């Protein structure tokens, strides 16, 4: 009988947000904030002895979470952005302290949560491998035995003695995953960082995760790719607004997630620091519409769909390409369309791109769209994962004599003639 290698009991994480900025969770921090903004916060003076009280400034990232992970289990963690998934992984990785609750972990933990996490920027890739191994409690001899396997898998061997601060985001992810997966931790924790990097390396990572699971080690995997969750994981949990909403077999948890999700998320607009992105890109908007911007809650199969994105490039002389990835509702990739070749070299500034999906091309299904911003033709600078979700309905089935459900995702209206 397998044993619980991770046990989480009544776990909660609270943040306080003041009128001007997020307040510290300490009494000293509270006093400092009050004197920094005396006019806005003077009324808070009377509340110093009631610091734990509930009010509008309290935000619960996690609230009363309890679950167990068995030895050798591959646990998929799903939920919308802001549901609490990343907060949970940071607590399990001992990056963030919980507000209340209890966690018991049996074994060494290796985590890959954010690009560059766990790396010292001034050290070379090789030196960071040894540093991470030492933190995990490995001897130098143990690290030596894994060194060349780690370097080879990462694909950064030409730069392994270069300081990590000069690595691109994709290189940091490749080395970070390789280190985490090869240093034999009992528990491997992976967040959605694999969205940065190239497709071939993502496939290598998923294959390596299968190998790790096959060796009886425990894996916690956060992803919006429901197809990967379904194929890799032995169990899954669903988060919603900081609460553990469902747990069980991956397919059943995915069904709950899709059932409760709004079918159509067809437009998003951001501004200022709220814009998604990184040091390369900031996204201003993304939307799917018909050419006349008419949207009735779904698209008709015969509608032409225009997917438009506006973004700001933050660096000069960058060969920039856009890639639209069309996925099924469970995350299966249907097609990938690039903007243009040769790739234009762009300077810092605001740009827009539009991709047209012709009418009478897709079947009546629910689809998702990921927009990737690609440097040249190989390195993903930023990926706006599953940003859009919409449904296509077939309101006129007279195009064929078959009135039942058509199979497949792509269903073009072809010139097909039967001759006698």
Q: pLDDT for 48-58, tens place per residue? A: 444 455 566 78
Same domain, 271 and 254: no
* The pLDDT of residue 13: 94
* The pLDDT of residue 49: 42
Q: How many domains does the chain have?
A: 2
13 within some domain: no
Same domain, 355 and 221: no
* The pLDDT of residue 285: 94
Domain at 316, CATH number: 2.70.50.60
* The pLDDT of residue 16: 77
Domain at 197, CATH number: 3.40.50.300
Same domain, 336 and 387: yes
Same domain, 223 and 112: yes
Same domain, 116 and 154: yes
* The pLDDT of residue 374: 93
* The pLDDT of residue 382: 94
* Cα–Cα distance, 355 to 338 (Å, whole number): 9
Same domain, 185 and 231: yes
Q: Which domain holds residue 341?
A: 267-396
Residues of the chain with pLDDT under 70: 1-2, 17-56, 114-117, 193-199, 260-264, 294-297, 395-405
Same domain, 251 and 273: no
- How confident is the model over 184-227, as pLDDT tens digits? 788 988 887 665 556 677 778 888 888 888 888 899 998 877 77
pTM for this prediction: 0.60
């Amino acid at each position: 009988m397998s044993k619980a290698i991770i046990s989480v009991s009544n776990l909660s994480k609270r943040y306080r947000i003041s009128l001007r900025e997020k307040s510290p969770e300490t009494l000293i921090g509270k006093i400092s904030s009050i004197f920094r903004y005396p006019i806005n916060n003077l009324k808070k003076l009377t509340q110093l002895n009631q610091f734990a009280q509930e009010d509008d400034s309290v935000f619960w990232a996690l609230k009363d979470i309890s679950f167990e992970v068995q030895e050798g289990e591959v646990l998929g963690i799903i939920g919308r952005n802001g549901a609490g998934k990343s907060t949970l992984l940071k607590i399990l990785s001992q990056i963030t302290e919980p507000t209340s609750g209890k966690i018991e972990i049996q074994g060494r933990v290796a985590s890959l949560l954010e690009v560059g996490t766990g790396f010292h920027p001034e050290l070379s890739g090789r030196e960071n491998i040894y540093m991470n191994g030492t933190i995990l409690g490995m001897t130098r001899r143990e690290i030596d035995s894994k060194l060349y396997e780690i370097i080879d898998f990462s694909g950064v061997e030409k730069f392994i003695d270069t300081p990590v601060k000069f690595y691109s985001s994709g290189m940091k992810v490749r080395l970070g995953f390789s280190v985490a997966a090869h240093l034999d931790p009992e528990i491997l924790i992976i967040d959605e960082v694999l969205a940065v990097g190239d497709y071939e390396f993502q496939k290598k990572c998923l294959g390596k995760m299968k190998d790790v699971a096959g060796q009886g080690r425990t894996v916690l995997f956060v992803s919006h790719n429901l197809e990967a969750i379904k194929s890799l994981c032995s169990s899954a949990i669903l988060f919603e607004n900081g609460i553990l909403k469902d747990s069980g077999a991956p397919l059943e948890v995915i069904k709950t997630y899709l059932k409760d999700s709004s079918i159509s998320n067809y437009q998003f607009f951001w501004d200022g620091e709220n814009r998604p992105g990184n040091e390369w890109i900031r996204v201003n908007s993304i939307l799917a519409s018909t050419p006349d911007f008419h949207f009735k809650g779904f698209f008709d199969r015969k509608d032409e769909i225009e997917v438009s994105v506006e973004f700001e490039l933050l660096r000069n002389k960058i060969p920039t390409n856009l890639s639209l990835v069309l996925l099924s509702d469970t995350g299966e990739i249907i097609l990938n369309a690039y903007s243009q070749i040769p790739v234009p070299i762009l300077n810092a500034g605001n740009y827009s791109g539009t991709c047209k999906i012709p009418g009478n091309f897709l079947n009546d299904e629910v689809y998702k769209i990921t927009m990737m911003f690609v440097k040249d033709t190989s390195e993903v600078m930023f990926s706006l994962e599953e940003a859009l979700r919409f449904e296509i309905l077939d309101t006129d089935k007279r195009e064929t004599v078959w009135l039942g459900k058509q199979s497949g995702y792509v269903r073009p209206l072809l010139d097909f003639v039967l001759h006698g």
